[in-house]
Amino acid sequence: MSNFVEIDGSYLEGGGQALRNAISLSVILNRPVRVVKIRANRPKPGLSHQHLHGVHLLRAISQADVNGDALLSTELEFTPRRIEGGMYKVDTRTAASITLIYQMVMPVLLFANSSSRVDVTGGTNVAFSPQVEYMQQVLLPSLKRFAANTAMELTVLHHGFYPRGNGRCQLNVEPLQQPLTAAQFMDFGQFREVKGAAYYAGRLPKFIAYDLQHSAEREIHRLWPDHQCNIQVFKHTPDRARDNGAGIILTALTSTGCVLGAGSVGEKNIDGHMIGSNASCELAGYIKNEVCVDAHLQDQLIIFMALAKGCSRMRTCALSKHTRTAIYVAEQMTGVKFNIEYGDFGQTFVSCEGLGHFNNV
């Protein structure tokens, strides 16, 4: 029993972040982990259906022994073995976030013994999780700084929205041939342009997407009238999305290759003007403060910083609870230490001398 690293699932964010990161690192490092007080700060503590899907997927990938993998369980023990690449399929039968499941397996499959494909059915654009376009346009390009030859490809076969889901994606991952190298997210360079998409689907009227577009473009043009802001409006056809849904995803690009993202998903009583304005104001804050990593990317980079060879650094905004939780888990699981410093204009600097973990299969 003493071999287990114990992770407190109630730490700070107190949601699924501690569980997701702990299990991922457990598999990569082949270290048994016990997560206690799972999702203690949520209205319904313990494992939800969505978290069980992720746990069971990583159990299959690593042939792990698992105790406590039951609905609403507040304690889980996970003992992994070898990471096996291959074909994996998950059907959540709900609008559970596909991207949060992919967050768990992306770093793991880089250290597999062969190529992998993970086919997941659920929600592609749902609240409280990254939209699938954010993962394609912001996360995956950013990960190339850790390994330029990293081969990850994310394809959307069908979009799915709350409450029914019905979305489907495929993630292809090629294993690393060499260790991840330290990445630097420190040089903002010059702001170049904003790109984006305002989408709608199902029976929703198209004016919602135009409201999203116009309000977002208005804010960017007000602050940077000489910069390009191209937000396209489009409808997901029935063969690409069965149900009602709408939202916006924006990215800002800089001369040094930084990609900053912001967006939102409409739910009931969608106010396109408000959603578009909020998304563009969030993005504008990143641009004005010249950060290189937005608030949604912070926590997703922590695992890679901890595993990489050398000292990784990022220049970001105020750290979210998700990020602080990810740092706590990474330090407990790997023994590395993260250094946090604060600069002017709300900037935060995070650095870490990583393990230099390598794929030894």
**Structure-token pair, residue 199:** 């989408």
CA distance 24 to 330: 10
Annotation: binding site: 103, 296-300
- Spot the catalytic one: 159, 214, 236, 322: 322
Q: How far is CA 41 from each of CA 8, 9, 36, 353, 357, rounded to the nearest angstrom?
A: 12, 9, 12, 31, 32
Q: Which amino acid is at 46?
A: G
CB 103 within 8 A of CB 300: yes
What φ, ψ does residue 50 adopt, rounded to 5°?
-60, -45
Q: Which residues pair with 167 in a beta bridge?
A: 122
Tally helices (H) and strands (E) across the chain. 9, 16
Residue 132 φ/ψ region, left for φ over 0, alpha for ψ in the -120 to 50 degree band, beta for the rest: alpha
- What b-and-e string marks burial along 263-278, b requiring 16 or more CB atoms within 10 Å of the CB? bbbbeeebebeebbbb
Q: Which amino acid is at 361?
A: V
For residue 322, indicate whether it is catalytic: yes
Annotation: binding site for ATP: 103, 296-300
Q: Which residues are catalytic?
A: 322
